[in-house]
Amino acid sequence: MRTITKQDCKVLASVVKPSQLGPKGKEIYSRLFQEAFGVPFEMVSLLRKGRYSIAELEKKLKMSRRTVFRYLLALEESGCALELTEKGYRMTSAGKSFGDLLK
């Protein structure tokens, strides 16, 4: 039996939409995206739509402060531009590793 690789997850994330995965599609897609790129899709979506403080990200994503910082660092390492102001973090541009997924 073959295990799914990161490359497999990237391909699946690029061709499958959350709505095609049933009632828990968003959760499944976020997990698939996380396996492929190292960050949950929910976090990427939030940061692209608005500006959030660490506390807001913790609450919305149901994760620890340390995990939020770890994912923010992973986003920067993947080439995403993050902006920090007194109101919080926001993604100003997506990295090349995300390709057309975020367009």
pLDDT in tens, 44-93: 889 989 999 999 999 999 999 999 999 999 888 888 889 999 999 999 88
Domain parsing of the chain, residue ranges: 1-37, 51-96
Tell me the longest C-alpha to C-alpha distance in the chain. Answer: 50
CATH fold of 51-96 reads Arc Repressor Mutant, subunit A (1.10.10)
pLDDT in tens, 5-37: 888 888 888 888 888 888 888 888 888 888 888
